[in-house]
Amino acid sequence: MDQILKDLSIDFIQLARTALTGRQQDVQLIIHRASKKFKEFNPELTESLIALLHESPTRTTPLRKHAETPLPVDLDSRLQLLRLESNIPDHEPILADRIQSGLNQVLSERRNTKALLKHGLNPTKSILFNGPPGVGKTMAAKWIAAKLNKPLLILDLAAVMSSFLGRTGNNIRFVLDYAKNTDCILLLDELDAIAKRRDDSTEIGELKRLVTVLLQEIDDWPSTGLLIAATNHPDLLDPAVWRRFEMVLNFDNPSTEQIEQQVNVLLRDYLKQTDEWSKILSHVFFGSSFSEIERQINQLRRSAAVEGASLDTKLEQLVTLGSDMTKDQKIELARALYDSGIVSQRRAQQLTGVARETIRKNIKKIKN
């Protein structure tokens, strides 16, 4: 209870600070996050808060007061070239130690700029996130923007890529010039779409010129700003792009321990045996991305709600879907099920197809 009250106090202070800035979408996110903490000991309050969120007039966020001019638009389609992303993640990002260390260094540099200047140094101004989809690249950008208390602007590729020759390059310049003069964090997502290798014979001259424009803009990026780029296809990037970024962070699919942490975060408000299920599902989800895990967990919660079934029952069904596991992985899963105390050896056998004698031998082997 003491920890819940402490967390709520922190949320209330953050809510007050955010409300005073007029950032409606961020206010809604904070209320939604806080409402989940009330659910166990005050469900009526949780329902009231959720009802208020549903009654709110709009979830679109106007440009925050950090910028005095409207977002740049494509001159033909009139589509905005940037979108403003909420910089309050639903939970703290679950990142590998080396990733977290790199981000912490960037934060430390920004908070100690004077110390750097005394030694003739500037803080890191450009970071490249490299890794497969759904492994936390955008979440990391949101987190660092939140920690620096700056809005996160994301390049909208659909609007930037114009059908008119020469217009795409101008759009990129508009976006980067705007971000340079705005107190924000700029995220160039899917960088490989606009910074492809210039030796690719399949690409037209316009896209090759676009890469040159982008390189020049990155070189001229001010040390007062922070540019983050992300790519899912590092092999497509022009080699010169890599040299322009002062820090490169390589993201991977989550480890077993990271999966366990994420599942715990996603289920802790809805299950009593969250720790036990987190250990079990860390085997089921091994090899999956963070976004894929969250998608499957949310689908199970929806299914349980619609059918009036218990979430535990749905999670057991999920375990039976691990048919593409190797024999050793299934044995580890069966042992985790038995060790959890949630199911018996017989039920662990039914769910995984691993014989009870094999489970007992594995348990005995580990104990010895």
Which has more confidence, 107 or 35? 107
Q: What is the DSSP track for 335-347? A: HHHHHHTSS-HHH
Whether the model clears a pTM of 0.85, i.e. scores above it, the answer is no
pLDDT band per the 50, 70, 90 thresholds, residue 355:
confident
Tell me how far CA of residue 20 lies from CA of 24, 27, 63, in angstroms: 10, 10, 15
| Rounded mean pLDDT, 55-67 | 45
pLDDT at residue 346 tops 90: no
pLDDT at residue 50 tops 80: no
Domains of the chain as residue ranges with CATH: 2-55 (no CATH), 82-250 (3.40.50.300), 256-367 (no CATH)
pLDDT at 162: 60
Q: 342-347 — which CB contacts under 8 Å span 24+ positions?
A: 342/273, 342/276, 342/277, 342/280, 342/312, 343/316
pLDDT at 247: 96
Flag the least confident range among 65-69, 149-153, 314-318.
65-69
- The tokens 């949101």 sit on which residue? 142
Give 310's contacts (C-beta < 8 A, 6+ positions apart): 304
Contact predicate 82/71, CB 8 Å: yes
H/E stretch holding 155 reads strand 152-155
Mean residue pLDDT across the chain: 81
In terms of residues, how long is the chain? 368
pLDDT at 83: 85
pLDDT at 342: 82
Summarize pLDDT for 250-261 with one digit per residue, the tens.
Answer: 999 999 999 999
Query: What is the rounded CA–CA span in Å between residue 143 and residue 319?
Result: 32
Q: Quote the percentage of the chain above a pLDDT of 70.
A: 78
| Rounded mean pLDDT, 229-255 | 92
